[in-house]
A and B are shown apart, each in its own frame.
Chain A
Amino acid sequence: MTLDKIKELLNCRVLYGSHKLQLDVKSAKASDLMSDVLRFSGPAKLLLTGLTNIQVIRTCDIAGICAIIFVRDKIPTAETIELSKKCDIAVLVSNFSMFESCGILYSNGIKGVTIQSIKQ
């Protein structure tokens, strides 16, 4: 599924990365714990989180995640958006909750990243 379709499903606004909307997303992670994002470092290109600080971008950069959706209408700080531009990581905001966002994406075929799916 394209990031553009995900944007539509979750009623997102794009704060950065309109040029990345054709990104093909097959799996996603959802967490407010950055250590969990790093721990399950599978092939996911998308992160859903409610955490908006600058370390979210650095974590995604390290973990190879190309797009972030901030749930619960959480607006990231200006410095977070600035760093996302530097790292070229798309930033979207949805007014859905984490639970609803995950449910909508999962029921539309986006997979999660489990420990079993990661080559140890």
Chain B
Amino acid sequence: MHKKTAFEQIFQIKGGDFINAGEPSIKIRNILKDIGIDADIIRRVAITAYEAEMNVVMYGQRGTMKLLVTPEKIVLHIQDKGQGIEDIELAMKPGFTTATEEMREMGFGAGMGLPNIKKNADRFNIRSTIGQGTKLRITFKVK
């Protein structure tokens, strides 16, 4: 794959939509399979995309997830319009959560999402503004 032919696609995520949550992540997984990316990298990207997507569904009003694939790397950009994260350091602590009962009933909201994302990524950046939303940039090396 040449740099000029890098693949890019944007997926919409709707806050509170627990029924369709996960579909964009599964599409991303399938795209990477079609491209012929290494299975271990696909697994890490898919898990990361899904965790990030669930965070938007749970805490954001709406958001987008952009997949960028170049010969060197895979990048996920996730941004949401939402309440934002007050203390990012605290949010990164395994087990810390502000989840509601509904989120927990879905099997999420245990405070493992962001730590899981960080663990699976090669590079992870998070920025958040209270009352506006959160942006994640997650990078995976392909080679």
Q: A34–B25 Cα gap in the complex (Å)?
A: 15
Task: Report B's interface with A, CB cutoff 8 A.
Answer: 18-19, 21-23, 25-26, 29, 40, 43, 46-47, 50-51, 54, 105-108, 110, 112-113, 116, 119
User: Known: A34-B106, A35-B108. Is A62-B47 also a contact (CB below 8 A)?
Assistant: yes
Q: A33-B107, A35-B107, A55-B107 are in contact. List 9 more A-B contacts (CB 8 A).
A: A34-B106, A34-B108, A35-B108, A37-B107, A53-B18, A55-B21, A58-B50, A79-B19, A119-B40
Q: A58-B21, A61-B26 are in contact. Are A41 and B43 (CB under 8 A)?
A: yes
- Given A55-B106, A56-B107, A61-B26; A38-B116 close (CB under 8 Å): yes
> When the two chains form their complex, are residues B22 and A58 in contact, meaning their CB atoms are under 8 A apart?
yes
- In this assembly, does A36 line the interface, its C-beta being within 8 Å of a C-beta of chain B? yes
A61 to B33, CA, bound (A): 14
User: What is the CB-to-nearest-CB distance from B119 to chain A, in angstroms, rounded to a whole number?
Assistant: 8
> Do A35 and B116 touch (CB < 8 A)?
yes
Q: Which residues of A contact B51 (CB under 8 A)?
A: 35, 38
CA distance A79 to B22 in the complex (A): 14
A-B pairs with beta carbons under 8 A, tally: 69
B-binding residues in A (CB < 8 A):
32-39, 41, 49, 51, 53-56, 58-59, 61-64, 79, 119-120
B29 and chain A: residue at smallest CB distance: A62
For B50, list chain A residues within 8 Å (CB): 38, 58-59, 62
Closest 10 CB pairs of A and B: A58-B22, A34-B107, A35-B112, A62-B50, A51-B107, A62-B46, A38-B47, A35-B110, A33-B110, A55-B106
